[in-house]
Amino acid sequence: TCMRLRSVVRVTSRALSNAVEGQRQVAAATDEDPGARRTFAEVQKERQEQAKHTVLINCPPNVNEKKFLKYLSQHGQIASHFFYESYGTHAVVEFLDKESIESLRSGTSLPTVENECSLPFKSRLFTLKSESASGNVPVLSHRQSALPINELIQKLCKAQNIEEQAYALLEMHQLTDESIRLRFLVSSLVKDIAAAYFPEATVNPYGSTVNSFGKLGCDLDLFLDLDDIQKRSAVKTTGPFTTEYLTKRVPSARVATQRILSVIGECIDNFGPGCTGVQKILNARCPLVRFSHQPAGLQCDLTSDNRIALRSSELLYIYGSCDHRLRALVFTLRCWARVHGITSAIPGAWITNFSLTMMILFFLQKRSPSVIPTLDQLKGLAGKEDKHIIDGHDCSFVSNLNTIKPTQNSEALNVLLGDFFEFYGNFDFSKNCIDIRKGKEQNKPEVSPLYIQNPFEQTLNVSKNVNQSQLDRFVALARESAWIMQEQSSHPVQKENAAWGLGTLLLPSVFQGIGKIKKKRKRGPASDRIKSLLDSLKTNGKAR
Ligand code: GTP
Ligand code: MG
């Protein structure tokens, strides 16, 4: 037991230090000033540059890594590479120079297939053919999806306290460097398709891929940006004349977006290697093209004319970098909400991850002293270069992380988590609206059950879709969770092999009969229920 415990301590303290290290890497110091943390724009730019130098290669099973790298090095120096599994083994290979990709292309042929014809679209996706290069040692494959919940709970059992559990969960769930590279590569491949029509267009990932709250396996939100084209075309020339392009005209910017997305969607469908299940959802509030990128194993949503969402992603990134507890809390609560069906992958009347994150930010602003600044405070710190007005909405806030003062609040994560449940278990949703701009409750401007003010389009409600029964479920679950957290601190449980702390909160069946909690208080103590559930979990674990 002693040895076990020692290894447990090692595992969890490593998880903790890795999580903190990851945090540091997200906003790592620049070369010029070792103390300075990089801005969101700098991080994005670097990732985009990396992606331009990168190719995706479908490899034969048991490819010999050494021979593979030697073969590719003929085309130029390799900066980095890794393997993963998605419909077979794939390698992401980043070359030091872009010319290496041209060299690789020049030696690549189009496939000849019997009874079929291949469309001659030459992308940066290749298939490696080999007759003899298989190796005895399987290549190390990088995981691209999150652990199943029962495996996660078993791992959490090994931590020393709830705080360590939250950091361990963060480390197991957050996007890895490899996963982010793959996502930027897919974005860059989609850009190549869009460039067939709009050579100057850019495609940028947004949402959880870049906002530092992405979980392994989450969708890839892509933003097709044609705005820069307009800016670049405004170059002044001298003389008595000016010229402008003769263009087609449509009744509104929305119709323009729909036309463009429709055509790009057709291109992705017809020519995009590995792109399947293309759906054009052009009548949505925010028109989009949804498709699956099979070689990357990613579900993609491509939108355009959606610059405010890009600003929201940067805002969340700034908040994620403000305090190390924040991301651990958000990942924990996102996981909790998902396990209990409060959030869902399917759109509907439920709370979304984005809304839940807004609620967590608001709660942290309300602590005393506050853990994170309000959006108005971040706006107050903004420099000239941070001024952004989009469609008449002021989306300005500071981009330089070094100007944000660290918080004086030092509450432990488990305290914040327990108090989050209490806060929303008792929140007066019928009267109040959540507003992260002011960090204060406001009177609800209309009757939606849950009102979370959109931080930038201030007359909109981010959670307009949520109905009363979904809100009631959230409140009931928050109350039950607050109670379980209290129980956990007053009756320390037998930790060896038993779910405790976060593990308990993440067991779906602990919360049977949610909504009837008050009547069900006569049930045995949570710890008994947890114990029997854990026994069944262990049996399931063995059966797998
Ligand atoms: P995942 O659930 O991990 O995909 O989180 P996500 O943050 O990527 O959410 P999602 O894919 O639903 O949306 C992508 C981005 O669009 C979010 O990060 C927000 O910036 C924005 N967004 C999503 N929902 C809303 C909303 O209801 N209102 C506003 N204003 N923006 C939203
Ligand atoms: Mg997303």
Per-residue pLDDT for 291 more than 90?
Answer: yes
CA neighbor of 80 nearest in space, from 110, 111, 47: 47
Predicted confidence at residue 510, as pLDDT, reads: 63
Per-residue pLDDT, 228:
65
> Which bound ligand lies closest to the C-alpha atom of 207?
1
* DSSP element (H, E) containing 378: helix 375-380
Sorted by sequence, the CB contacts under 8 Å of residue 443 that are 6+ apart come out as 431, 432, 433
pLDDT score recorded for residue 260:
95
pLDDT tops 90 at residue 209:
yes
Ligand 1, residue 353: give the atom nearest the CA.
2
Quick check: CB of 153 below 6 Å from ligand 1? no
**pLDDT category of residue 8 using cuts at 50, 70 and 90:** very low
Q: What is the pLDDT of residue 515?
A: 47
**Does residue 313's CB lie within 6 angstroms of at least one atom of ligand 1?**
yes
Whether 309 lines ligand 1, by a CB cut-off of 6 Å, is: yes
Q: Ligand 1 pocket, 462 CB below 6 A? A: yes
Q: What is the pLDDT of residue 346?
A: 87
Which residue has the CA at smallest separation from atom 20 of ligand 1?
309
Confidence at residue 34, expressed as pLDDT on a 0 to 100 scale: 53
What mean pLDDT is predicted for residues 438-453? 94
What distance in Å separates the CA atoms of residue 273 and residue 295, rounded to the nearest whole number? Answer: 9
Give the number of other CB atoms < 10 A from CB of residue 28: 13
- Per residue in 465-524, pLDDT (tens digit) is 999 999 999 999 999 999 999 887 766 555 566 788 899 999 876 665 554 444 444 444
Average the pLDDT over 108-125 and give the result. 90
In this structure, are residues 108 and 165 in contact, taking their beta carbons and an 8 Å threshold?
no
Strand partners, 288: 281, 303
Asked if pLDDT for residue 296 goes beyond 60, the answer is: yes
Cα 221 to ligand 2 centroid, rounded to whole Å: 5
Ligand 1 pocket, residue 354 CB under 6 Å: yes
Q: Is the CB of 332 under 6 A from ligand 1?
A: no
Ligand at minimal distance from the CA of 213 is 1
Give the pairing type, strands 125-127 and 54-59: parallel
C-alpha atoms less than 13 angstroms from C-alpha of 450 in its C-beta half-sphere: 26
pLDDT digits (tens, 9 = 90+) for 129-146: 887 656 667 788 898 899
Q: What is the pLDDT at residue 37?
A: 85
- The pLDDT tens digits for 369-421 are 999 999 999 999 999 999 999 989 999 999 999 999 999 999 999 999 999 99
Residue 3 predicted with pLDDT over 60: no
The rounded distance, in Å, linking the Cα atoms of 263 and 269 is: 10
Strand 125-127 to 288-293 pairing: unpaired
306 lines ligand 1 (CB under 6 A): no
The protein residue with its alpha carbon nearest to ligand 1, atom 18, reads 207
Q: Which residue has the higher pLDDT, 215 or 539?
A: 215
How many whole angstroms from 312 Cα to the centroid of ligand 1? 8
DSSP one-letter code for 353: H
Q: Name the residue with the closest Cα to ligand 1, atom 26.
A: 462
User: Measured on CA atoms in the order 363, 364, 370, 374, is the torsion positive or negative?
Assistant: negative
Q: Are 131 and 283 in contact (CB under 8 A)?
A: no
Q: What is the sign, positive or negative, of the torsion defined by CA atoms of 442, 447, 451, 454?
A: negative
**Ramachandran region, residue 238 (left: φ > 0; alpha: ψ -120 to 50; beta: rest):** beta
User: Greater confidence, 15 or 198?
Assistant: 198
- Which of 187, 216, 221 most suits a substitution to test ligand 1, by most atoms within 8 Å of the C-beta? 221
Mean pLDDT calculated for residue range 420-432: 97
pLDDT tens readout for residues 225-252: 987 666 655 566 788 988 888 999 999 9
- The answer to whether residue 77 scores a pLDDT higher than 80 is yes
Looking at residue 415, its amino acid is V
What pLDDT is attached to residue 231? 63
Residues whose CB is less than 8 angstroms from the CB of residue 57 and which lie 6 or more positions away in sequence, other chains included? 90, 91, 93, 125, 126, 127, 128
Mean pLDDT along residues 428-440: 96
Judge if the beta carbon of residue 390 lies within 6 A of ligand 1: no
Structure confidence at residue 184 (pLDDT): 98
Q: What is the DSSP string of 208-256?
A: GGTSS-PBTT--EEEEEE-HHHHHHT-----SS----------S-HHHH
Using CB atoms within 10 Å of the CB of residue 428, give its burial: 0 to 12 exposed, 13 to 18 middle, 19+ buried: exposed
User: Percent of the chain at pLDDT above 90?
Assistant: 69
